[in-house]
Structures are given as structure tokens and as C-alpha cells.
């Protein structure tokens, strides 16, 4: 099966399983989405949502977190991994937004990636999910699935993003990255499918017999 047919089959299956998709991180506005994406590094979306549901009712603007300060932010998010580093980033990020952008989240990759604690993946999520700009955020899970499905060679998340953008039409990027995340969590799990058992893996590689060891990001 060539890549064109493979891509077509993957899209058909993803649209069948997830015809409609929602943003997994709960948020109140663009700023809280940005904070939640930052918090989700090395942490599950479920854990982030459990923590932020007690925060965003009261604190949902950069000004709120500037007033709180680092130590109080730490207390609010202490059940999340590397919470001290994340609290520092959230505080500095909020301060920058207040001082430089009048409390608004900027709408370009360049400006977002200059913010404290914000990398390309985080910026891509905000650009796609908040502003509707075509982007293909690639995390370690999408990186793994793209390898299993034969869409990339697995050298890096940067390479995987480039490869996926070449294979899939731009108008589908925003929906696709969410569909892939949901599918991976439910059917093509890291320690379950191993590139052998889920519908997409078995469709793309019907003759694969041995577990596929993917390259880490």
C-alpha cells in the first residue's frame, strides 16, 4: 500500500470513529487554553482538567496570575508534574502578556513562541484551537502513531510535523491532530497495540507480525 492510499484509509477511519471532535483541555478563554496546554507537558489532560476546574472560575486572566504570584500559583497546581517550573512559566508568561500585549494572547507563532514556557507545540495548539489557524501540533503520542502508520521515519517531532503536513491537506490539519490524539488514547495505545492490533495499524500493515519499536521524540 502506497502512502497516498494509506493516508486516504487513515482519514476514512478517523472520520468514522471521530466525525465530531472537541478540544480535550477544558478552558474558559484563549489565555486559559494557553495555560492548560503549558500545564499538560508530561501530564495527562484529565489531570490538568481536574486541577484547572477549581482555578478558572476565579482566575482566568493574566492579571489574576500576576497578582497571585509564583508561590500561590504553585499551591494551586501542586498536584501536577514539575509544578514549580510550570508555576514560574505561568507567572512570567502572564506578566509578559500584561506588560507587552495589554493582557491579550498574541495571534502569531513568532510572538507566542517568545513567551516564557511556550514552545512550538504549545503555540501550534493555541493557533489551531483558539484562532483556527491551520497547524499540526505534534506531541510524543502523534509522533509514535505516525511511525506506526508509516507516515514518518521518526527522527524527531519536527520531522514528523513536516511529514504530516506534506501528506494531509491543510484544511484538515486542525481536526486531524485531535482525531489522532483521541484514536491513540482509545485504540492505538503505547503499551497495547504495538503497531499490530488496532484497525489503522492492521489496515496499513496487514502482514506485520512483530511489534514495532518506535523512536522516541
Start-to-end CA distance of the chain, whole Å, equals: 26
pLDDT at residue number 42: 86
pLDDT at residue number 177: 95
Q: Can you list the alpha helix ranges (DSSP code H) found in the chain?
A: 3-17, 30-39, 45-52, 62-76, 83-101, 109-113, 120-129, 140-148, 157-167, 173-186, 199-204
Cα 165 from chain centroid?
15
Q: How many residues does the chain have?
A: 217
- The SS3 call for residue 75 is helix
Q: Per residue of the chain (217 residues), give pLDDT as tens.
A: 788 899 999 999 999 999 999 999 999 999 999 999 999 988 999 999 999 999 999 999 999 999 999 999 999 999 998 999 999 999 999 999 999 999 999 999 999 999 999 999 999 999 999 999 999 999 888 999 999 999 999 889 999 999 999 999 999 999 999 999 999 999 999 889 999 999 999 999 999 999 988 888 7
Q: With CA atoms as reference, report the closest residue to 112 among 8, 12, 104, 57.
A: 104
Q: From the candidates 139, 165, 189, 199, which is the catalytic residue?
A: 139
pLDDT at residue number 3: 87
139 annotated active-site: yes
Burial class from Cβ neighbours inside 10 Å (0-12, 13-18, 19+) for residue 188 reads buried
Q: Which grid cell is 172?
A: 484538515
For residues 37 and 122, the answer to whether their CB atoms sit within 8 Å is yes
121 annotated active-site: yes
**Which domains are seen in the chain, by residue range?**
3-21+136-204 (1.10.1670.10), 30-129 (1.10.340.30)
Q: From the candidates 121, 163, 165, 199, which is the catalytic residue?
A: 121
Amino acid at each position: 500500500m502506497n502512502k497516498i492510499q494509506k493516508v486516504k484509509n487513515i482519514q476514512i477511519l478517523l472520520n468514522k470513529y471521530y466525525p465530531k471532535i472537541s478540544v480535550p483541555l477544558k478552558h474558559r478563554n484563549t489565555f486559559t487554553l494557553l495555560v492548560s496546554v503549558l500545564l499538560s507537558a508530561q501530564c495527562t489532560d484529565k489531570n490538568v482538567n481536574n486541577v484547572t476546574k477549581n482555578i478558572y472560575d476565579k482566575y482566568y486572566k493574566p492579571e489574576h496570575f500576576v497578582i497571585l504570584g509564583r508561590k500561590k500559583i504553585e499551591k494551586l497546581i501542586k498536584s501536577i508534574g514539575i509544578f514549580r517550573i510550570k508555576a514560574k512559566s505561568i507567572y512570567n508568561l502572564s506578566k509578559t502578556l500584561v506588560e507587552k500585549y495589554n493582557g491579550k494572547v498574541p495571534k502569531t507563532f513568532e510572538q507566542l513562541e517568545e513567551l516564557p514556557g511556550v514552545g512550538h507545540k504549545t503555540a501550534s495548539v493555541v493557533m489551531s484551537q483558539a484562532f483556527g489557524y491551520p497547524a499540526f501540533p505534534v506531541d510524543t503520542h502523534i509522533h509514535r502513531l505516525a511511525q506506526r502508520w508509516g507516515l514518518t521515519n521518526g527522527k524527531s517531532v519536527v520531522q514528523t510535523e513536516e511529514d504530516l503536513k506534506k501528506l494531509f491537506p491543510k484544511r484538515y490539519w486542525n481536526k486531524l491532530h485531535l482525531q489522532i490524539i483521541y484514536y491513540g488514547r482509545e485504540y492505538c495505545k503505547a503499551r497495547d497495540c504495538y503497531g499490530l492490533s488496532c484497525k489503522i495499524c492492521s489496515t496499513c500493515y496487514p502482514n506485520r507480525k512483530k511489534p514495532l519499536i518506535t523512536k522516541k521524540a
